[in-house]
Structure 1
Amino acid sequence: MFVPLFLEVIFPILLLIGLGAFLQRRYQFPLTPFSTLLTVCFMPAAVFLNMYRVELNYQVLSEMLVYLLLFTLATVLLSHLLGRILKVNDGEGAALKNSISLMNSGNFGLPVSQMVFSTNPLGVTIQIFVLVFQNLLTYTYGLYNLLAATKTFKDILRSLIKLPIIHALILGLAFQLFQIPLPRALLIPLDYLSAGFISLALLLLGAQLANIRIRVYHKIITWAVIGRLVAGPALSLLIIYLIGLDGVVAQSLFIASSFPTSRNTSTMAMQYQVEPELHAQVVLYTTLLSSITVTLVIFLSSILF
């Protein structure tokens, strides 16, 4: 089952990532406009439609929240412990903490979930909640690690309020809860945008990885890879059994824990000049190696749950 799973789920994703890398090396596209387009248009459309169409279960929502809080606490504690054992400096410590705690739930995670749970919308909806939670974590805890608390709470809150996926999530929930019908004239373009999300997200991820230059291999990278791709799923499985999750909820959360380091860690590190090359290399290595670990986790989730 492992090989067919890899060929049906992971290989198509790697193919699009590779195509994005090839096109970027060949044509050197300016990536900021494409990243903005993905963030403010394609991803919000996918989030809104999924929330609009799924049947919500408040027990599932409460279980997800408990899981996400425990899983985040566990990965944060693990990264802090590793930082102390390795005696890293502040910049390296920020890279290690963010690399283990922050996952690529958007460009990588959402396409994987849409392929794995193509016949079960609940699995994709759970991934969307993970995505939103990860974005909140990125612009609070992630920024704190990089800026050492120089960014005020007001600035962080302002950044979060501006995120289009937050607006899409709230609108989708509102339309779902109050059973507000959307006319076909709006549903059709939203469907087109949502359908284009996967391809654009993966092409853009490949293009961003193509711009990374490897100069020196740092020991932090090894521990970041182990923490994100090995310890992350192991902690997830422990928490899932601890709080008694099962079925699609357990499958989706377990798979979500295996995704590579968020590309936003590299973007923010470059913006604030905190070990930008180290952050970028961690994103590259975890993304490449996750093709194996994510396949294994998907395989295990089908057996365990």
Structure 2
Amino acid sequence: MAYLGMIFFQIVAPILVLLVLGAILQKKFRFNLKALSQLITYCFMPAAVFINLYETSVELSVLGEVALFIVLFMGSQMLLSHLLAKGLGLVKTEAAVFKNSVVLINSGNYGIPVAQMIFAMQPIGVAIQVILVIFQNMTTYTYGLYNLISSTKSGLSIIKDFFKMPIIHALIIGVAMNYWNIGIPQFIRIPIDHVADGFIAVALITLGAQLSQLEIKSMFNKTVFISCFTRLIIGPAIALAIIFLLGLDGVVAQSLLIASAFPTSRNSSSLALEYDVESAIAAQTVLFSTIVSCITVTVVIYLAEILFA
């Protein structure tokens, strides 16, 4: 129990503090959240991704294990959310939001900071989280958009938008420079390090500011609770079964299990709001799952370290 408390206060509580700080600052100063999001997307996150991949060597066998896990885990989440939506008798719009809330995970501005805190001395743990972010972005702008049936984007434009994302460029450049052992001049490396070091704080403060802006127009309903239970409890349980099935262990297993426990992505709410599909329910799910994850993620981190130490 003492160890569980240590995990909460050393890893999860600092994240919660920064989220609350972001919410307070947003209420007082009314930041331009779009500008902050763009700053993270086009500056802080690419720098953090680049540095992590540039300094980390990931064996092809490990990459294959991670890719296989992602396919099995994401596929299971899609199937489970579809069956639950049918079982709950949700109308098409509610079903779309429900499925997105289960499948789309906050791997970016929640997941990467958590991974950086836990695996500070084991960069491969963060590298795996970066790979998960890439897959989550692909899922968001394919599966997520498909669920909401967008009439303004074609499949080709979605692919073009995906390859325009700076995190993709950072991934490719970081891996290439790592592979060919290309050095970075100090006058370039130093500012990149400064930006990468600021990613955790800026990302979490921005997430707190974003969550404080979510409009909650009605009381939480059963769809929200079932979604959160599926995302935060059932998701990690399925991930654990897949990890055992694939025979994974060590940092790889720890990183994948912890990553499976992160809350619903804010993108699920953003997409619902943009396409006017049950945006209130989507916002409630993001907010509620983020709050509850402070407890569930702590427990999963504890289990990951116990099972795969």
Q: Name the TM tier (shorter chain).
A: over 0.9
**Unmatched 5+ stretches in structure 2:** none
SS in 2 for 1:103: coil
Q: How far is 1:215 from its partner? A: 2.5
User: What per-residue deviation string (whole Å, max 9, x for no partner) do you get for residues 148-204 of structure 1?
Assistant: 687322011111011110111011111111111111111101100100100000000
Q: TM-score, normalised by structure 2?
A: 0.97
Tell me which of 291, 298, 302 is aligned to 1:299: 302
TM-score scaled by structure 1? 0.98
- Determine the structure 2 residue equivalent to 1:159: 161
Q: Deviations over 1:75-109 (max 9, x none)?
A: 00000000100111111111111111110001110
CA displacement, residues 1-29 of structure 1 (integer Å, 9 cap, x when unaligned): 00011000000000000000011111211
Query: 2:4 aligned to 2, 5, 14, which one?
Result: 2
Per mean C-alpha deviation after superposition, the further-off stretch among 271-280 and 6-15 is 271-280
Q: Which residue of 1 aligns with 2:69?
A: 67
Q: Could you say what secondary structure the match of 1:181 adopts? A: coil
Q: Which residue of 1 aligns with 2:271?
A: 268
Residue 26 of structure 1 is matched in structure 2 by 28
Deviation at 1:213, TM superposition (A): 2.7
Query: What residue number does 2:258 align with?
Result: 255
> Which one is further off, 212-221 or 276-285?
212-221
Counterpart of 2:82, as a letter, is: H
User: Partner residue of 2:246?
Assistant: 243
Q: After superposition, where does 1:74-89 map in structure 2 within 5 Å?
A: 74-89=76-91
CA distance in 2, matches of 1:163, 1:237: 31
Counterpart Cα distance in 1 of 2:286 and 2:297: 15
For 1:237-278, what per-residue CA distance to the aligned partner results, in whole angstroms no more than 9, with x for missing partners? 000000110000000000000000011111111111111111
Shift of 1:39: 0.4
**Where do residues 201-240 of structure 1 align in structure 2 (5 Å cutoff)?**
201-216=203-218, 217-240=220-243
Q: Match of 1:277?
A: 280
Determine the C-alpha separation between the residues in 1 that align with 2:94 and 2:71: 25
Give the whole-Å Cα distance in 1 for the aligned partners of 2:153 and 2:231. 26
Instruction: Tell me the amino acid that sits aligned with residue 247 of structure 2.
Output: G
Q: Distance in 2 between matches of 1:251 and 1:93?
A: 31
SS of 2:74's partner is helix
C-alpha RMSD of the superposition: 1.0
Q: Which moved more, 1:268-277 or 1:100-109?
A: 268-277
Residue 187 of structure 2: aligned partner: 185
Q: Structure 1 pair 181/18, CA: closer, same or farther in 2 (3 Å)?
A: same
Q: Secondary structure of 1:68's match?
A: helix
Whether the 8 Å CA contact 2:150–2:275 is kept in 1: the answer is no
The answer as to whether partners of 2:148 and 2:277 remain within 8 angstroms in 1 is: yes
Q: Secondary structure at the match of 1:287?
A: helix
Query: Structure 2: how far apart are the matches of 1:269 and 1:213?
Result: 12
When structure 1 is superposed on structure 2, of 67-76 and 209-218 the one drifting more is 209-218
One-letter code of the match for 2:258? Answer: I
Name the CA distance, whole Å, in 2 between partners of 1:108 and 1:71.
Answer: 19
Unaligned regions of 5+ residues in structure 1, if any?
A: none
The residue type paired with residue 208 of structure 2 is: G
SS at match of 2:198: helix
* Identity across the alignment (%): 49
Counterpart of 1:137 in structure 2 is: 139
Kept after mapping to 2: 8 A contact 1:144/1:151: no
Distance 1:236 1:56 in 2: 21
Matched residue SS, 2:169: helix
* Cα distance change, pair 150–84 in 1 and its aligned pair in 2 (3 A): farther
Displacement of 1:218: 2.3
In the TM superposition, residue 295 of structure 1 has moved relative to its aligned partner by 0.3
Contact (CA 8 Å) 1:91, 1:146: kept in 2 or not? Answer: yes
Deviations 1:25-58, CA, capped at 9 Å, x for gaps: 1121121001000001000000011110001211
Count of aligned residue pairs for this structure pair: 305
Q: Following superposition of structure 1 onto structure 2, how do residues 164-175 of structure 1 map, counting pairs within 5 Å?
A: 164-175=166-177
